[in-house]
Structure 1
Amino acid sequence: MEPARRRRRPAVSCILCRKRKIKCNRGTPCSNCMRSKNATCIYTNAPPPVSETRRQGTFVEPSQTRERPGVGSETASPLTPSTLSTTAPTNTAAETPCITIVDTHSPLNSNDTPNNSRTAPEEPTSACPAAAYTPFSTFTRNSRVETRPLNVSGDFYFHCEHRLASQPQAVKRSVTHKTRLFGPSHWANSAIMLYDMLHVLERSLRDETSNVLRYEKRCKALARIIKARRAPPWPCPPSPELPARAMCDALIERYLSTSEAVLRVLHIPSFRRDYEALWDLSSTPDPAFRVQLKLVLALGAVTYDSAFSLRPFAIRWIYEAQTWISAPEFKHQLVLPSLQTGILLHCAREAVGVGEDMVWAGVGTTLRMAMYMGLHRDPSGLGPKKKSPLIAEMRRRLWNTILELALQTSLTSGGPPLFNLDDFDTEPPGNFDDEQLSRESQEAPVPKPQAEFTQTTIAIALRKMLPQRLAIAKYINDLSSRASYAETLRLDAELREAYKTLTRSLHTCKSPSGGPPDFVLRSLEMVLRRYFLALHMPFFSPSFRESEFAYSRRVVVDTALRLWRAAFPVPLSLSPESAELDDPLARISTCGSGLFGTVAIQGFVAVAVELKTLIREEESLGLLGPGEVRPDLLLALQDFKAWSWKAMEAGETNSKVHLVSSMIFAQVEAVRKGLDETQAAEYIEKAAEEAEERSLRLLEEVEARTRPIQEVEAVGVGVEAGSSILDTPPEAWGTEDWDYMVSDFLVDPTGTENLSWVFQSAFG
């Protein structure tokens, strides 16, 4: 008689602990995986809830972290690396909710082991009490969200939502850095895909004989000095000084043909009338209009020349406007001219790069101010007093522009749009040219046919695609949203159909001048196509492992190339370095900040990762050789390197973008040349050193040009005329004058230098 077989108990430890035959605390992730820096902590079966007596974290009720979807999002408890609570979707609303709390307040360094580690982090806990359920929660017992710090000094926390077999496919990601949370559409979420490529370079950068880090520290110190000299003192009250009349005229025309042609803010005849009155010595100047004018000049300065020579003046004009608009007198701001100034301030800050990361928050304030003024209600239904045609149309235009800014900054910052289609009933702007509207006329003009191109056609076109784009922004960035690939494909189809219809109608538009300007069409393409990039980027990395996401891979790469060619129809790498960029959109993309910077980095990531994958595939098949890799991707990668350098020539002080682009391009070239590991490391390090040396010399020249005369005479600087800091012995660089300017992230607190400065660079 065979002995009765013992029933096999279900495994409760994670796979790694079972393999190592060590005790698992059943956390998510478990303490052993956290200590060993395991990227994933996987259970065959879901870990059982930990009892109340074993809790070490602080339980967060669902009602504390989430209210009804779309309501109360601004009152949610703050998210910090020490207490992170995220969840995945549920298939059954009646399931008991489970919130996983992961404490990553004290992440271990990659060199730490259980034997020599520092104080270990608190063990994560899971709790699923039935009393925590609310009707609006969407939590499930089997949900697990891994929160792991990237091993770059423990500064970055990537929150990735894992898919379970019984749930819809979902990929959601965000990044916590210092006090900021970058949502899924922020470019930082895509930059993580380059980490394995950068990690290959870490070994060469640890060499004590390498000058790359030394050069980088000096570049950072010079950048801080240059930026400090550009910024005026705060507060900066508006001054009456203006550039010469000819310069003002040129900058205004630049603004009207670029920014105003896409985002309608001004009534151009009224603006010109007030501008002429400003130069009339017999009239009393209006301080509010002078502030507005300076913001127009700042936006025009971005495209004035390819070197952005007016950058210091543009920064001062923005500071003056910020001081003026911050005055604690609120009622005078509740008028249309003040609202126009606020919109121009947001546009100028983003274009010039003055606190551009915070524009999304400022646009939210402007959106609420516009609602307070009633712009979210159509003028035809407001009060017994009928609005004049000009006022009514300007209210529609300004509301339309505010919605567009809220949507665009939402995608750039990774934050939710914070408005819905049912929050307003304001009609889209009419198809008018500005000359059809006047201050004196009370008769409503007749709008031109939709087939006729006017100064408002682009604003109307953007409004037509607002529902599709808003749905995508909410789908990507809203906290209550759960991404599934089927929903991604549905939104892609809707956006693609609307985009095709819109482009066909625009290309058939006619006007006395012949149709839409080339700048307007290319700008519109950049604004709209970036939604395809944001929509499919979360599935780009999984597409290399799972064939079902192959469509996303193709869309991301194709969109990245199209966006790049919209900005630079002529490849930058094929033109002489000294060539003047006389194309307005190319100048905005090179001299300005904001939209294109985000698109460029995301496109660079997509192209670099795609090239890396293709090279590996070709290499594994033994087919790699001259001309085997896609030349269009290689050209785009080389273009990004050229763009990063031209941006520095135009006043960009961050040298790390040029450094990273040079290193990754060198890595691709090393593989194409068939270099072995040692030769490739030397080749990459040489490229990095050349890039940093080049950047250092440029920043030295800029610093010397911006150095006050008094400082030169008083200090003497210690570097002879015509010489370079590179001619100074490296040991002389670490003087007290420079130490306090070097950022903390350049020093690894554990004593081992890593790539934290590469990722930190883009976060300021």
Structure 2
Amino acid sequence: MDESQSIKTDRRRRRPALSCVSCRRSKIRCDRNLPCGACVRSKHKTCVYEPQGRHSEVTSAPVGPSHPADPLSAVDSEPAVSPVTSGSNHTHRGDALHEDHSTLSLNGSTPVDSTSSQSHGPSFDVRSLLDRIKDLERRLEDSTGNHSPQKNVGQPPTAEPDLVATYPSQSHWMNQIGSRREKKSEPIAMVNRCKALARTVKAQRMPVQNVKFGTNIPPREVTDQLIDGYLRTSETVFRILHIPSFRREYENFWLSPDSADLPFLIQLQLVMAIGASVYDDHYTMRKSAMQWVYEAQCWLISPVPKTRLTISGLQVMLLLCLAQETASVGQDLVWISVGQVMRTAIYMGLHRDPKKLPKMNQFRSEIRRRLWNTILEIALQTSVDSGGPPLIYAEQYDTCVPANFNDDQLKDDDTPVAVSPPEKFTDMSVAIAFRASFPARLAIARLLNEIGTQNTYDDTIRLHNQLSAAYKSLSQQLQRFTLGDRQPTGFQRRLVDLLVRRYFMALHLPYFGPAMSEPAYAFSRKTVVEISAKLYSTVFPAAAFSPRPLQSQINDLSQMSIVPDGDDLARFTTCAAGFARSILSQASMAIGLDIQNQLQEDDSLGPPTPRADLLNIFRDSAAWVYRRIYVGETNVKGYLFSLALLTHIEGLVKGLKRAEIADSIIEVGTKSMRDCVELLKRQTVPQPDEADTTNNAQLDFDAMMAVDQDWEYDSTMQNVLFNFTNIESVLGMQTGSDMMGADFSQW
């Protein structure tokens, strides 16, 4: 071949190839559809177009054994183009994106072609490849009419590749094989065909779900109140949602409920489940809240878990953790669920700051930072609640603290927004101020719950001082906000105060029991009592001065307000479970045991006189526990224990003899349990909207508990039923100890 022919060949090869590869090889006219008409008529398996763009010209090479003339294999570094199977009317966009990003650096560095260092191989621009893919998708939709399908609540959600980012570490299997792959069109086409068939096979194997999601949505006016209850309480401290985006989807939901995305529907139901705890004084939406929690659990354990590796899926998991606690659905096991949430977030790359990841806009960066911040807070909180190790280590994540933005400042576009100054109060100010105390709180949780830590009293005092400094700084920060136009709500200030002060009590509780007999730990005893009083007064400020009646008639409870003036925090701690119950229960028990011990140690000639404020708080706490049973709490042991301890305290104040105190405790305990049985009986009666779904079987409480029979007091029973004053067992400081371990001789 002479030089002129070689030049002509070069010029011909530099012209853009508009026909598909099969038509070019067969030298027939191509209609440039996808797939083209010739491939359809000839039943060709694949219809592939060569990539085009400013870097797609292929330099000519001598024809020979090492450089075949076949354009399908001319250069081994040619990027794979997502093929279309003849007779199919759709492509898989996720596969195309995956294949074209196969040579991207896993650490987010500049993408480099695997063979770009070879002198005879061309280099391709990733942007041109993406543009080519978009063009192919557009042409496919134009030719087949395959537009975006209508969203269906019953279908699994599509993954959000722009929000999901997995970044395997060095031990991941992807890093143990070569990243270079042969990108010849026929094999890659068959790989994609196999992927499509694999998805079909998986879909056929998927079991049929009997759960019908979204069948229990209340009317619009009720739903609005439930959502508002969540947004003004939990969401103001534990940031999970971008409120403008959520409200926009919420409005679209009411315009077309049947076309709502399933992930959003689950989010909506969980938001309502949390908001139901502050909806009214009597927790009338408890059953619906539990149903919404169960539906979310079913969705999360359904097949194809990868489709939930999205920001929306992660928000559902976080909302579920909060809803489990508020609705009392496996609230004792939330620490386990939080571990799954944290690992999911790490798999999605949320433990890496967005600055170290491939470029994303400000909106998505801040959403990721907010979610990681909330995951850390909930993981620490459940660690303290469950007694499990926090499993949080600063060297394992580098995500920064969220910036000080209002939600309406963040929009999903590329327009940068200036961060508000620290002194300006925004939607994130409380969460950011709360995060500043995180290291001190984490150190306490590690000291208490991790194996192998040396918990000396010097360590306790040191961590006490660290937490005191962090708490003082937090208080000053929140106080500065009160000077501006916008300031924290009462719920925000009181909830943060409750969540931080509990660490003082947790830190000193191990020494509370020994302090009853060891003066060296007197500081811990004083701290536990004073902090407990402040914790309870934070929720119920009037309790120290005017406690509620100890026990009203059951018929009177429905006519009275259980919480003062619809206070959100008081209503939340009365209706919800989880930390809302445990913090106040632990505080009231510590106060009661301290009063009892003081009265027993009193050696004055006159009758002992306990602190009036502490006695009032303990009386109010007994009434609070009873009201929790009225609104749906099923655990009555706490109420029995509180009344028995209160009766003993009042007997000591009156100067009663030991036998008289024992008789009073038996009488009060019997009456209180009869009342609790009546309350639980009422809860078993189906409500009007439950009549159709209630089983016909009736529970025979008389046969089960013999509550209608006369209970005869036997003096031998006292050491079994009301032998309860073991401080260590009450406060959980000794494993395996009997909760009713002490005898009446200690009274």
TM-score under structure 2 length normalisation: 0.64
Residue 317 of structure 1, aligned match among 273, 279, 292:
292
2:678 aligned partner: 697
1:559 aligned partner: 531
- Are the counterparts in 2 of residues 451 and 510 from structure 1 also a CA contact under 8 Å? no
CA-CA distance at 1:332 after TM superposition:
1.3
- Shift in alpha-carbon separation, 1:761–1:329, aligned structure 2, 3 A: farther
- Shift in alpha-carbon separation, 1:674–1:694, aligned structure 2, 3 A: same
Residue 394 of structure 1, aligned match among 347, 361, 367:
367
Asked if 1:496 is matched to 2:468, the reply is yes
Q: Deviations over 1:567-614 (max 9, x none)?
A: 112229634662342100001101001112221222123112211121
- Are the counterparts in 1 of residues 701 and 707 from structure 2 also a CA contact under 8 Å? no
- Are the counterparts in 2 of residues 235 and 323 from structure 1 also a CA contact under 8 Å? no
- Shift in alpha-carbon separation, 1:715–1:367, aligned structure 2, 3 A: closer
Partner Cα distance (1:281, 1:647) in 2: 38
Q: Secondary structure at the match of 1:272?
A: helix
Q: Secondary structure at the match of 1:446?
A: coil
1:579 aligned partner: 561
Partner Cα distance (1:650, 1:761) in 2: 26
Q: Deviations over 1:52-106 (max 9, x none)?
A: xxxxxxxxxxxxxxxxxxxxxxxxxxxxxxxxxxxxxxxxxxxxxxxxxxxxxxx
1:449 aligned partner: 421
Partner Cα distance (2:635, 2:493) in 1: 31
Residue 650 of structure 1, aligned match among 625, 631, 635:
631
Q: Deviations over 1:142-166 (max 9, x none)?
A: xxxxxxxxxxxxxxxxxxxxxxxxx
2:122 aligned partner: none
- Shift in alpha-carbon separation, 1:678–1:378, aligned structure 2, 3 A: same
- Are the counterparts in 1 of residues 233 and 568 from structure 2 also a CA contact under 8 Å? yes
Partner Cα distance (1:482, 1:380) in 2: 38
Q: Secondary structure at the match of 1:339?
A: helix
- Shift in alpha-carbon separation, 1:757–1:699, aligned structure 2, 3 A: farther
- Are the counterparts in 1 of residues 533 and 617 from structure 2 also a CA contact under 8 Å? yes
Residue 238 of structure 2, aligned match among 263, 273, 278:
263
501-510 or 575-584, which moves further after superposition? 575-584
**Amino acid in structure 2 at the alignment position of 1:321:** A
- Are the counterparts in 2 of residues 308 and 650 from structure 1 also a CA contact under 8 Å? yes
Higher-Rg member (1/2): 2
1:247 aligned partner: 222
CA-CA distance at 1:513 after TM superposition:
5.2
Q: Deviations over 1:212-269 (max 9, x none)?
A: xxxxxxxxxxxxxxxxxxxxxx974423441111111111110000010110000000
Identity %: 36
Residue 604 of structure 2, aligned match among 604, 613, 621:
621
Residue 546 of structure 1, aligned match among 513, 518, 541:
518
- Shift in alpha-carbon separation, 1:696–1:489, aligned structure 2, 3 A: same
- Shift in alpha-carbon separation, 1:668–1:511, aligned structure 2, 3 A: same
Partner Cα distance (1:761, 1:544) in 2: 14
Size of the alignment, in residue pairs? 504
Partner Cα distance (1:552, 1:610) in 2: 12
CA-CA distance at 1:757 after TM superposition:
11
Partner Cα distance (1:479, 1:681) in 2: 42
Q: Secondary structure at the match of 2:283?
A: coil
- Are the counterparts in 2 of residues 468 and 495 from structure 1 also a CA contact under 8 Å? yes
1:636 aligned partner: 617
**Amino acid in structure 2 at the alignment position of 1:335:** T
- Are the counterparts in 2 of residues 537 and 552 from structure 1 also a CA contact under 8 Å? yes
Q: Secondary structure at the match of 1:701?
A: helix
1:163 aligned partner: none
**Amino acid in structure 2 at the alignment position of 1:547:** P
Q: Secondary structure at the match of 2:213?
A: coil
Partner Cα distance (1:608, 1:757) in 2: 12
- Are the counterparts in 2 of residues 237 and 323 from structure 1 also a CA contact under 8 Å? no
Partner Cα distance (2:598, 2:463) in 1: 28
Asked if 1:359 is matched to 2:341, the reply is no
Q: Secondary structure at the match of 1:493?
A: helix
CA-CA distance at 1:333 after TM superposition:
1.5
- Shift in alpha-carbon separation, 1:375–1:451, aligned structure 2, 3 A: same
Partner Cα distance (2:694, 2:576) in 1: 30
CA-CA distance at 1:534 after TM superposition:
0.5
- Shift in alpha-carbon separation, 1:757–1:246, aligned structure 2, 3 A: farther
1:483 aligned partner: 455
Q: Deviations over 1:280-330 (max 9, x none)?
A: 139822111101100000000010011101000000000000000112312
537-546 or 297-306, which moves further after superposition? 537-546
Partner Cα distance (2:512, 2:233) in 1: 33
Partner Cα distance (1:480, 1:713) in 2: 51
1:184 aligned partner: none
Partner Cα distance (1:716, 1:678) in 2: 41
- Shift in alpha-carbon separation, 1:659–1:428, aligned structure 2, 3 A: same
Asked if 1:280 is matched to 2:255, the reply is yes
1:420 aligned partner: 393
Residue 431 of structure 1, aligned match among 390, 397, 404:
404
Q: Deviations over 1:326-353 (max 9, x none)?
A: 1231221211110000000000001111
Gaps (5+ residues) in structure 2? 1-208, 553-559, 740-747
Partner Cα distance (1:250, 1:391) in 2: 29
CA-CA distance at 1:622 after TM superposition:
2.5
Q: Deviations over 1:606-634 (max 9, x none)?
A: 1122111210122x233434xx2111110
- Shift in alpha-carbon separation, 1:682–1:262, aligned structure 2, 3 A: same
Partner Cα distance (1:388, 1:502) in 2: 31
Partner Cα distance (1:267, 1:711) in 2: 37
- Are the counterparts in 2 of residues 656 and 761 from structure 1 also a CA contact under 8 Å? no
- Shift in alpha-carbon separation, 1:676–1:251, aligned structure 2, 3 A: same
Partner Cα distance (1:324, 1:549) in 2: 50
Partner Cα distance (1:360, 1:304) in 2: 26
2:168 aligned partner: none
Partner Cα distance (2:497, 2:374) in 1: 17
- Are the counterparts in 1 of residues 338 and 379 from structure 2 also a CA contact under 8 Å? yes
CA-CA distance at 1:760 after TM superposition:
11
Q: Secondary structure at the match of 2:255?
A: coil
CA-CA distance at 1:443 after TM superposition:
2.1
Q: How does 1:287-306 map to 2 (within 5 A)?
A: 287-306=262-281
1:73 aligned partner: none
Q: Secondary structure at the match of 2:481?
A: coil
- Are the counterparts in 1 of residues 424 and 484 from structure 2 also a CA contact under 8 Å? no
CA-CA distance at 1:444 after TM superposition:
2.1
1:517 aligned partner: 489
- Are the counterparts in 2 of residues 342 and 366 from structure 1 also a CA contact under 8 Å? yes
Partner Cα distance (1:376, 1:714) in 2: 51
- Shift in alpha-carbon separation, 1:730–1:614, aligned structure 2, 3 A: closer
CA-CA distance at 1:718 after TM superposition:
8.6
- Are the counterparts in 1 of residues 641 and 724 from structure 2 also a CA contact under 8 Å? no
Q: Secondary structure at the match of 1:560?
A: helix
Q: Deviations over 1:509-542 (max 9, x none)?
A: 1587541111100000011001000001001111
388-397 or 329-338, which moves further after superposition? 329-338
Partner Cα distance (2:693, 2:414) in 1: 61
- Shift in alpha-carbon separation, 1:713–1:565, aligned structure 2, 3 A: closer
TM-score under structure 1 length normalisation: 0.62
Q: Secondary structure at the match of 1:353?
A: coil
- Are the counterparts in 2 of residues 539 and 553 from structure 1 also a CA contact under 8 Å? yes
- Shift in alpha-carbon separation, 1:557–1:757, aligned structure 2, 3 A: closer
Partner Cα distance (1:718, 1:367) in 2: 45
CA-CA distance at 1:458 after TM superposition:
1.4
